Amino acid sequence: MLYPRNTTHRQLVDLSGLWSFRLDREGRGRDLGWTHGFEAGEPIVVPASWNDLVTGARDYFGEAWYQTRFVRPWGWHDKRIRIRFGSVNYHATVWLNGVLLGEHEGGHLPFEFDALALREDHNTLVVLVDGAIGPNRVPSADVRRDPLDNFMRPEQTPDTSHDFFPYCGIHRPVIVYATAHQALADLVVRTEVEGDRGLVDVRLHTDGAPEGARVTISGHGQTVWREAAIGADRAALTLELPEARLWSPEEPNLYDLRIELTSGGTVVDAYHQAIGVRTIAVDGDRLLLNGHPIHLRGFGRHEDFHLAGRGYQPLTLVKDHALMRWVGANSYRTSHYPYAEEALELADQLGVLVISETPCVEMYFHPDGLDERLRVWEMQTQALIERDRNHPCVIMWSLANEPHNRRPEAEGHFAHQFRLARALDPTRPVTFVSYLGEDDVALDLCDVIALNRYRGWYSEVGDIGAGIERLSTELDAIHARTRKPIFIGEFGVDTIPGMHAEPPVMFSEEYQVDFLDATIRLLDAKPYVVGAHIWNLCDFATAQSITRVAGRNYKGLFTRERQPKMAARRVRELWHAPRSEEEP
């Protein structure tokens, strides 16, 4: 699915802003005719979560209705018009002028419908959002407490099986856009490097049977182009860039890829995409970018901020990237769901390496409802790869975070997902992030072994030295058996801002400094460890429990308000490669 852009032959209208909103605690909205529009709604912002905006809805995860009205733009009378949602959590049903457009299940990924019921003047768009959490949704909640399928966490509210708040609502922009009926439908870009040459393989999928395509790549003093005939709504061609400027964190060189579709000698559609020429590969226990070993320094993150919840906020996005660059990070993982497409475009521009992850958090393989969970997981894997595969910043696919892979059947289900991912994109390594380590039945499927480790926090409690010793022994054993690169997806400790102690004790800022210092030094000394991400960039909201003060996970290097804790400067010294001397 193409990201919507304004071009010479495409137009879009962003419906973000103030919408009308109603909770539907009794599930009566359909019977009351709200599908055609409703009165007595209260204002809400789109995009944003409803939980922190609507009074009394903090822990409401049922049905709610959204409504907005708009006018069809001038000149769109002969166009194909679509309505696109960047993310709705968790299930969306959409009506336009009372006509059902369709439904979509699962948050964090885009979906769109043809706006066949669009009128010339006033149009009413209504969205029913079902935010219910449950054992057969992905990610899951209210899961049976079986040692094979659960961390056996203490009781918490809401009863999620994942450690972040299950925010509900329309979380990313809603776009209405127009194209000709003969138009580009999808685009796949893959790059190779041969000596000084960059080879760009371009595959097009079209609607409406245009006759031909002209593909142009320009940038860094070069312009190359080729033309191709379109057959069966498809075309494929390869362009060569002599003396290509490669994309990397040090030099995030981008080229402009422009596609023009023609019919009867006339251009009927135009689309452009920023691309980067680069390669990514695993060689033994090394991770190679453009043929050279790379070491990932960075963070796990969350799309999480005060009032907005999980809603897309450009200000927060820019600030978070500024903080990462100040510390000296070169990468992050989209833990634990796909982030907004705008985040990947910014990472392309800044040269940030991204591990793109599905929303499959703490997948469990108990047979009750398993077919439904597997169906959603497969749908999400495919949608994620099809959305993100043209971004040079994306260097690896993560198919899950901390799945409960104790049951033998988990290996077969993961093998299926790995085959799907590699068929959709054979150019990137594939992994998932395990907490079980050598006991994980699916670990050997990974191109890169990814582990979450909290030695000195959840184990070896309060004893950093013992935790480091055990972590070192475990990593050596896993590497000796697999002979694959190892990546540490998470390590960190809860740290209450302003709490100090001498000697350092758990939850103090001094303990976080010592923990991160010791862990980073150990991991840097292991040549087979290709990177590590601190958990987390910033403190974030989660469920209430006796282990989460004020419903917060305090493992951030920065507070939720984006202010540094003591450890931020220590990590900055250890990574010693900040791009700017400016203070955050």
Residue 362 is among the residues annotated as catalytic for this protein: no
Q: Which amino acid is at 200?
A: V
Both tokens of 343, joined, read 């985040």
**Apex 177 CA angle, 4 and 358, nearest 5:** 40
Contact 184, 210 (CB under 8 A): no
Structure tokens, 458 = 């959840």
- Round to the nearest angstrom and report the end-to-end CA distance of the chain: 36
438 given a catalytic annotation: no
Structure tokens at 359: 């929303």
- CA 87 to CA 345: how far, in whole Å? 17
Structure tokens at 122: 């006033």
Q: φ, ψ for residue 517 (rounded to 5)?
A: -60, -50
As a whole number of Å, the CA-based R_g of the chain is 24
Q: Distance (Å, rounded) from C-alpha 343 to C-alpha 349? A: 10
Which residue reads 């150019």 in tokens? 427
Q: Which of 112, 357, 402, 509 is catalytic?
A: 402
Closest CA to 25 of 135, 136, 102, 130: 130
For residues 143 and 159, give the distance between their C-alpha atoms in angstroms, rounded to a whole number: 8
Sequence letter at residue 524: D
Q: What is the DSSP string of 19-79?
A: EEEEE-TTS-TTTTTGGG--SS-EEEEESS-STTTSTT-TT--SEEEEEEEEEPPTT-TTS
One of 63, 303, 362, 490 is an active-site residue; which one?
A: 490
How far apart are alpha carbons 259 and 271 in whole angstroms? 5
Catalytic residues: 402, 490
